[in-house]
Structure 1
Amino acid sequence: MEYDPELCYCPKCNDEYRAGIELCAACGVALLTGKDMLLRHQAEISRLTNRRGALKEDDELIAIQKGPLGDLSRLQKRLEAERIGTMLKGDESACGKGCCPSVFFLLVRRDDARDALNIVEAEHIRLTGLSSQELVRSDAVFDPQREAAACPACGHVFETSRTECPECGLCFA
């Protein structure tokens, strides 16, 4: 992508803005100059070309994800497009008689693990629309025996004598 040094760009969505605007209207992220975006893009290209790609026998591997073969195959293709070597390994403890494992591990080189996890997280957000911060309250339970509870939808704390969250309207009756 070409960046005009006189303009500003959103580092998240790549929207283009005239000079003087500081925040992206869509993302709320601070904008970078075209020059900064070009330097950032060149650093990313350099980082990608310096990755070792396919795995070798002596590589130290680490499991970054566990799941069904279909899900991990999709992630494997995504990581390999970023020149991160991967391997799928079956969880033998999840294997029944005469079949292949139903659960697999996605393995990457230890040196690539942080980048791989960032890509997996970005893919999760892209597919679900949920970031890991939004999942913090996903296991919250409304307990009417307690004096106060946090709404699992919005996080607002309210008295349990109410059957509806005063902030978002979620009903607990």
Structure 2
Amino acid sequence: MPYCPRCRSEFRSGFAVCANCEIELVASLDEVEPEMTEEAMGEYLAARDLVTIASADLNRLKPLKNLLCQHGIANIVLEPDGGCCASGGCAPKLELAVAANDIERAAEVLRADFQDLVALNADETTCKDPSAWTVNLEGGEVICPACETRIPAGVAECPQCELYVGVPSEFLAEEK
């Protein structure tokens, strides 16, 4: 039975390419490098500047964490300073962080996953241009992948659709 080396899905005989990952299948997962362990990820990330790429409860972060791991991007779930809110009555918000030098790869993986989620059915005729879903890392502004609104530097949510897009770590350092 062939397997996808990235998502580790099993296929019936006769298939050569994973439809989701668009890469060639291998005969056995033994041929594939093992996924990075939590310990190895921790060591890799300990020596690097971290950037938060998502903030949510654990149930929402787990699929994103697994997706990044499948693409070989080290990541870690952190508890933000200050807890959730003043009353303490809300569900805990956690942060998913990657090394600053991996942010562009992580953004591309998450962008592609989001694009797959909102892809049109065959009977629909128009779609937003995925090339518009870009991040302007130099200016700090981002383009919302959901509604294409320009989001000012240092703002965590889209002002139009309220999608959380995160705040680059350099803006968090300025606030303290």
TM-score range, shorter chain: 0.3 to 0.5
Structure with bigger gyration radius: 1
Q: Which has the higher contact order (CA 8 A, sep 6+)?
A: 2
